[in-house]
Amino acid sequence: MNRSSGILMHIASLPGKYGIGTFGKEAYEFCDFLKKAGQKYWQILPLGPTSFGDSPYQSFSAFAGNPYFIDFDLLNEDGLLEIKDYDSINFGGNVLDIDYGLVFKEKMKVLRKAYENSKSKNIEELKLFEEEEDYWLEDYALYMAIKSYFNLESWQTWDEDIRLRKPEAKEKYKKLLSDEISYWKFLQYEFYKQWKLLKSYVNNLDIEIIGDMPIYVAEDSADVWATPEAFLLHKKTLKPLSVAGCPPDIFSDTGQLWGNPIYDWNYMEKTDYKWWIDRIKQSLNLYDVLRIDHFKGFESYWSIPYSDSTAENGEWIKGPGMKVFTAIKDELGEVNIIAEDLGTLTEETIKLRNDTGFPGMKILTFAFDTDSSNPFLPHNYDKNFIVYTGTHDNDTVRGWMETTAPKDQVKKAIEYLQLNKEEGYNWGFIRGAWSSVADVSIAVMQDFLDLGNEARINLPSTIGDNWRWRVKCDAFNDKLAEKIYKVTKTYGRCE
């Protein structure tokens, strides 16, 4: 990656009238803003369909896209909707907040109408899409159709015959739910169609998309239901034997219990890591660069007994290491991957990252809790890193300075980065990242807008108020673009 910079801004957080950000007009306007600001990268969060808690890191599929991002106006242009079908719907009184309950209730009704209107249109294109994506689409559409039939309950609660995917049960539900299956395929067709048009527009501006891929998949997902042999599950009940998380640390006395099933890496190796190769290939069809979340899990992972209510009783187990990445490279060639190597780094994890050649990550708000040897301080960077002011899991710079950080860390940050209120603390942090030797620097959109922790998108290990932030409709203006371009140009990150 050449010396450059970018902005982290999730699709859901884009402005617009219909409850949640989409692949429509506002997304294209943001692309134009990135170009004016001299940015090379647009980083987004995972695009998968969200489940309980609305987290893009807990998805119903590692391959499917979130139908919430399908744009109504684009469907109108294609003759699948009339404006009256969606223009007066109430998606909540606050355009800066995503009401996921309303989005689910109202948006899916409109998309159902678009599906009904599509039945005599684009037949050949849809058929071709289904053939090209059959290796995951068939199972996903069947899974979602059955899930709807069982009132959206987890597949673990379904009738035993279909929970265990007995052939006669699968055939029964394919016949019973044939129209519902077609509906879920249609949603994926529209998602991919609209996304590819947007991505093409971005790439034509000489901007690349950095996408995010969680290392694990959700227990309630088409992936675990369709390929239980790829996970450590009980042979008869298909309940996980153990689940993923993080051990206790200074942030949590009981650790983090994520609840994702653990991969059966022996199975993965016996099948030449085909599942992972398919997943990486699909992701790199969606994105230009792929950030793999919790990269450490490939070196070793924290395995917690399924029945435990905290992460305290887990144990470290060795992961596949370079074997999985060698298999990926052998099949796909050189791949553009960023290793999310945050957390407690062991020598083994650092070696794995170095062996892959993937750039790691630095977070500037992590730099001030120790002394001058802190690896997140810019003077300790090597070039092969991506430096962030913060990510979706961190407070904004303003929120960190005003409420989150201890006073001694704020003092160190002011002294080290020579922060002052006239410039703006947020711009001082951006300057610190942009002036570093790291090949790429990225800041969340909230930091460019100098927003406080009311704009924080996620507080890890909490449920309820996360993933809801949306930007104001007039945020992407020329004045801000010029200011970003100036600091980008000053530190040699654009032409």
382 as an active site residue: the answer is no
From 312, 348, 393, 402, the catalytic residue? 393
Average pLDDT over residues 96-121: 95
| Yes or no: domain 4-490 corresponds to CATH 3.60.15.10 | no
For 352-389, the pLDDT digits (tens) are 999 999 999 999 999 999 999 999 999 999 999 999 99
Give me the chain's average pLDDT, please: 96
Grade residue 202 by pLDDT with cuts at 50, 70 and 90: very high
pLDDT of residue 464: 80
Grade residue 121 by pLDDT with cuts at 50, 70 and 90: confident
For 245-273, the pLDDT digits (tens) are 999 887 688 998 999 999 999 999 999 99
Are the beta carbons of 361 and 338 closer than 8 angstroms?
A: yes
From 26, 340, 395, 439, the catalytic residue? 340
For 269-325, the pLDDT digits (tens) are 999 999 999 999 999 999 999 999 999 999 999 999 999 999 999 999 999 999 999
Give the count of alpha carbons within 13 A of 389, CB side only: 30
pLDDT of residue 217: 96
From 190, 223, 293, 341, the catalytic residue? 293
Is pLDDT above 90 for 75? yes
For 123-161, the pLDDT digits (tens) are 899 999 999 999 999 999 999 999 999 999 999 999 999
Three-state SS for the chain is CCCEEEEECCHHHCCCCCCCCCCCHHHHHHHHHHHHCCCCEEECCCCCCECHHHCCCCECCCCCCCHHHCCHHHHHHCCCCCHHHCCCCCCCCCCCECCHHHHHHHHHHHHHHHHHHHCCCCHHHHHHHHHHCHHHHHHHHHHHHHHHHCCCCCHHHCCHHHHCCCHHHHHHHHHHCHHHHHHHHHHHHHHHHHHHHHHHHHHHCCCEEEEEECCCCCCCCHHHHHCHHHECECCCCCCECEEEEECCECCECCCEEEEEECECHHHHHHCCCHHHHHHHHHHHHHCCEEEECCHHHHCEEEEEECCCCCCCCCEEEECCCHHHHHHHHHHHCCCCEEECCCCCCCHHHHHHHHHHCCCEEEEHHHCCCCCCCCCCCHHHCCCCEEEECCCCCCCCHHHHHHHHCCHHHHHHHHHHHCCCCCCCHHHHHHHHHHCCCCCEEEEEHHHHCCCCHHHCCCCCCCCCCCCCECCCCCCCCHHHHHHHHHHHHHCCCCC
Contacts 24+ apart (CB under 8 A), 131-136: 133/63, 133/188, 133/192, 135/278, 136/61, 136/63, 136/64, 136/222, 136/278, 136/282
Greatest alpha-carbon pair distance for the chain in Å reads 70
The span from the CA of 98 to the CA of 92, in Å, is 8
Measured at the CA of 161, the angle between CA 157 and CA 164, to 5 degrees, comes to 75
The two tokens of residue 6 are 């970018």
450 as an active site residue: the answer is no
For 290-304, the pLDDT digits (tens) are 999 999 999 999 999
Are the beta carbons of 206 and 40 closer than 8 angstroms?
A: yes
pLDDT of residue 253: 87
272 as an active site residue: the answer is no
Average pLDDT over residues 174-200: 98
The span from the CA of 195 to the CA of 188, in Å, is 10
pLDDT of residue 479: 98
pLDDT of residue 242: 96
**Bridging pattern class, strands 337-339 and 440-444:** unpaired
The span from the CA of 23 to the CA of 192, in Å, is 10
Is pLDDT above 90 for 463? no
For 229-241, the pLDDT digits (tens) are 999 999 999 999 9
Are the beta carbons of 452 and 398 closer than 8 angstroms?
A: yes
- Domain residue spans of the chain: 4-490
Is pLDDT above 90 for 495? no
pLDDT of residue 348: 96
Going by C-alpha positions, the residue among 343, 374, 73, 242 that lies closest to residue 360 is 343
pLDDT of residue 184: 98
For 203-227, the pLDDT digits (tens) are 999 999 999 999 999 999 999 999 9
**Bridging pattern class, strands 337-339 and 315-318:** unpaired
